[in-house]
Amino acid sequence: MQFKSLILAAGLTALASAGFADGHAGKVKVGMITTLSGGGAGLGIDVRDGFMLAAKMAGNDKLEVVIEDDQRKPEIAVQLADKMIQSEKVDIMTGIIWSNLAMAVVPAATAQGKFYISPNAGPSALAGKGCHPLYFNVAWQNDNLHEAAGAYANDAGYTNSFILAPNYPAGQDALTGYKRMYGGELAGEIYTKLGQTDYAAEIAQIRASGADSVFFFLPGGMGISFLKQYAGSGVDLPVVGPAFSFDQGILQAVGNAALGVKNTSQWNKDLDSPANAAFVDAFQAEYGRLPSLYASQGYDAANLILSAMDKADVKDADAFRAALAAAEFDSVRGDFTFGTNQHPVQDYYVREVIKEGDVFTNKIISASLTDHVDAYAAECSY
Amino acid sequence: MSTLLLIEQVLNGLQFGVMLFLMAAGLTLIFGVMGLINLAHGSLYMVGAFAAAAVAGATGSFVLALIASLIAAAAAGAIIELVVIRRLYDRDHLDQVLATFALILIFSEGTRWVFGSFPLFLDIPDLLAGPVTLPGGIQYPAYRLLIIAIGLLVAFGLFQLIARTRIGIQIRAGESDREMIAALGVDISKLYTLVFALGAALAGLAGALVGAIQSVQVGMGEPVLILAFVVIVIGGIGSIKGALVGALLVGLTDTLGGVLLPGFFGTFMEPSAATAVGSSLASMSIYILMAGVLLFKPTGLYGSA
C-alpha cells in the first residue's frame, strides 16, 4: 500500500516537473487560426506553410505552433480563439485571412492581453480608431494595394474607370483605397455578392458603361471566374487589380486570360534581396511549388516574432511589444518598418502576369508607391 | 438602360436559369420519387467539375471532359445510393439531412485529398472562346449560348424520358405510389439507383459546363445547392416542369434584380446609397419571389398536394 502511494507520488512529481520543463523556457506558443478547408483554403495553406518554413529554418525548438482551421466562418474562428486563449494558453495569435473573421476575433483577443500578428487581413476599423497596442499587422492595411492600383491608373492615363468589389469590409476598403489615389472619373461602381461566381451581368454593364479601364478586387475563386468570363466576353478594356487575384496559387487556374494584366503588390518573387532569394529557394525546396504573396506574409510574420524573441521575453508584454515594433528582421520585401499604428510602412510595386515556361507568374515592372503610410494611422492613439 | 443591354441581361438570366435547372432536375426527381432530401447533390456537381478538369488536363479534349463528368458523377451517385442512401429511405428527413451532410464533408475532404486545395484549370474550348454577334448587334459569349442550348436540349430529353418511355412511366408511378409499383413487380431498388444516378449525372454535367467559366474548387457546389432548393420549392417538389419554370424564374429574377434595382434606386437616391440598398435587395429578391409564390400556391407552381 505504502509502496503504491510512493510510486504514485513519484509519478505525480515527475508529471509536475515535466510540466515545469514545458513552461515556455525560451519558447513561445503561437496559436494560428487560418482557413484550411473549403473555398479560399489555398490562402490559409500558403500562410501556414510560409510561417512554418520560417519556424523550421530558425530551429524547431523556438516556436510551438497550434494550428486550427476556421473554415472561413466567423463563428468557428471565435470558438477557436476562445479555446486557444483559455485552454491552450497561447502567447501570440496569428493566421486569419479574411477581414470579417479578423473583426470577430482580434478585438476580443487583444482585450484579453494576447498579442495578435496579422499575416493578411488589415481592416480599416483596426488601423484607425480601433487600433490596439497588442495588434500588429505584418502584411498591409486593406486599402494599400488598391491605393497602389489607383496610383498606377493615374500613371497609365486612365480617366474613366469601372470599379467592382464584393460587399464585405475588405471590399469596401478596396474601393475606398482605389478612389483615394485615382484622380479620374468613375464609369460605374458595383458591389457584388461575396462568393459570387457568375459575373455575366456585371460584365455586360462594363461593356455598356463606356469605361476606359476596369479595376476589380475579387480574391480567390471569385477572381478566377471573373477573369475567365471577362476574357470570353469580348470586352477588351485594360484590367488592373491588387495582387490577390493574380497570386501564384490561382494563376494556373486562370490560364491565358490573365496574361499581361497589371496588378499591384508589396512583394514579388523577383524582388532583389538576399532574404527574398533565400525564401523563394527554401519554399520551393520544401513544398515543391512557387511561393505566393500569402506565403511571404506568413514567413515575415514568423520572422517578426522570432526577431522579437531574441530581444525580449513574451511574458514581459511592454518589452516584447517594443521589440515587435522595432521590426528588426530581414523582411522578404526589403525595407520594412511599422508606422505609429503598427501597420507596415513599405513600398508597393506594379507587376505584370507573364508565362515562364509552362508556369504563369508575375514580374515587377515598376514601383507604384514608396514608403507608403496608410490613411488611418493619424486616427490611432493608444 | 438600353434595349441591347437589357436583352443581354435576359440572356444571362436564361443561361443562369438553365444551369440551375440541371441541378434542380436531379434534386426534384430524387425528392419526388424517393422522398429523400439529398444535401450531397452539390458534391456531385463538384465531382463532375473535377472529373472534367482532370480529363481535360490529360487529353485536352472538352467533349471527352463532358463525357467524363457525366460518367464520374453518375458513378459517384450510384455508389452513394447503394452504400449510404438506400438505408435512409425509411428514416425521417432529419436523419437524411444528417447523413447527406456528412457526405458533403467526406466528398469535400476526399477531393482535397486527391486534387489539393488550389483551384484546378478547366477552360472553354478555343472554338467557343470569345463572343458571337447576334442579330441586333449584341455581342454574347458563344460558350454561354452553348450552355443555354445544352440545357434546353436536356430539358426536352427529360420530358420525353418521363412522358414517353417505360422508365418514365415507372418513375411517375413511383412518385404517386411506391408500394403499389413494387407490388406490381417493378424492381424498385434498381429504379431508385437509376433515378439517383440520372440526377447525379445531370448535376455533374452542370458542374463541368459551369466549371469552365468559373473556378473548379472544393466547396463549389454548396452555393448552387441552396439556389436549387429554392427552385424546386418554387416549382413544386417532384415536378420536372416546375423545376424548369422555377429555374428560369430564379435565374431571371436574380440577374435582372441585380442589374435593375440599383439603377431604380439611383433615380431618387445618391449613387453609393443606391448601390448598397439595391444590391442588398437584389440578393433577397429570389427569396422574396419564393415567399410570394408560396403565399398563393403553398405546394409550388406545379406541385401536387
Nearest to B219 among A39, A201, A233 (CB): A39
Per-residue pLDDT of chain B (305 residues; tens, 9 = 90+): 578 888 888 999 999 999 999 999 999 988 888 888 899 999 999 999 999 999 998 998 999 999 999 999 999 999 999 999 989 888 888 999 999 999 999 998 899 889 887 788 888 888 888 888 888 778 888 999 999 999 999 999 999 998 899 988 888 888 788 788 888 888 888 888 999 999 999 999 999 999 988 888 888 888 899 999 999 999 998 888 999 999 999 999 998 988 888 778 878 887 667 777 887 888 889 999 999 999 999 988 988 75
Position A58: which residue type? Answer: A
Interface test with A, best of B118, B123, B281 (most A CBs within 10 A): B118
A196, closest residue in chain B (CA to CA): B223
Asked if the model's pLDDT at residue A35 lies above 70, the reply is yes
Position B272: which residue type? Answer: S
Tens digits of residue pLDDT in A223-248: 888 988 898 888 889 999 999 888 88
Q: pLDDT class for A20, splitting at 50, 70, 90?
A: very low
Pairing of strands B138-141, A337-338: unpaired
**Non-local CB neighbours of A42 within 8 Å, separated by 6+ positions:** A220, A249, A250, B117, B118, B119
Helices (H), chain A: 2-21, 41-57, 74-83, 99-111, 144-156, 169-181, 200-209, 221-233, 248-254, 274-287, 293-311, 317-326
**Non-local CB neighbours of A316 within 8 Å, separated by 6+ positions:** none
pLDDT value at residue B64: 94
A248, closest residue in chain B (CA to CA): B118
pLDDT value at residue A40: 75
pLDDT value at residue A307: 93
Reduced 3-state DSSP string for B247-285: HHHHHHHHHHHHHHHHHHHHCCCCHHHHHHHHHHHHHHH
Q: pLDDT class for A21, splitting at 50, 70, 90?
A: very low
Are the Cβ atoms of B220 and A221 closer than 8 angstroms? yes
Phi, psi of A354 (to 5 degrees): -130, 175
- Please state the rounded mean pLDDT for residues A283-298: 94
Q: Burial, A192: exposed, middle or buried (Cβ in 10 Å; 0-12, 13-18, 19+)?
A: buried
Tens digits of residue pLDDT in A105-157: 999 999 999 999 999 999 999 999 999 999 999 999 999 999 999 999 999 99
Nearest to A37 among B112, B131, B279 (CB): B112
E-strand spans in A200-244?
A: 213-216, 239-242
Per the CB < 8 A criterion, the answer to whether B19 and B147 are in contact is yes
Higher pLDDT, A144 or A167: A144
What residues of chain A lie within 8 A of the CB of B219, using their CB?
A: 37-39
What is the Cβ-side half-sphere exposure of residue B71, based on CA atoms within 13 angstroms? 9
pLDDT value at residue A7: 53
pLDDT value at residue B281: 85
What residues of chain A lie within 8 A of the CB of B117, using their CB?
A: 36-37, 41-42, 45
- Residue whose grid cell is 509552362: A358
pLDDT value at residue A90: 94
Nearest to A204 among B12, B124, B143 (CB): B12
Are the Cβ atoms of B9 and A201 closer than 8 angstroms? yes
A197, closest residue in chain B (CA to CA): B214
ipTM value of the model?
A: 0.78
> How far is C-alpha B120 from the chain's CA centre?
21
CA distance A36 to chain B (A): 8
pLDDT value at residue A3: 52
| Whether A133 contacts chain B with CB within 8 A | no
| Whether A237 contacts chain B with CB within 8 A | no
Are the Cβ atoms of A37 and B108 closer than 8 angstroms? yes
Nearest to B15 among A200, A207, A252 (CB): A200
Per the CB < 8 A criterion, the answer to whether A225 and A47 are in contact is no
Give the rounded percent of residues in chain A with a pLDDT score beyond 90: 67
- Residue whose grid cell is 438570366: B13
Per the CB < 8 A criterion, the answer to whether A352 and A363 are in contact is yes
Q: pLDDT class for A60, splitting at 50, 70, 90?
A: low
Running DSSP on this structure, what letter comes out for residue A113? T
pLDDT value at residue A15: 46
Tens digits of residue pLDDT in A260-284: 899 999 999 999 999 999 999 999 9
Are the Cβ atoms of B215 and A253 closer than 8 angstroms? yes
A236, closest residue in chain B (CA to CA): B130
Tens digits of residue pLDDT in A308-344: 999 999 999 999 999 999 999 999 998 899 999 999 9
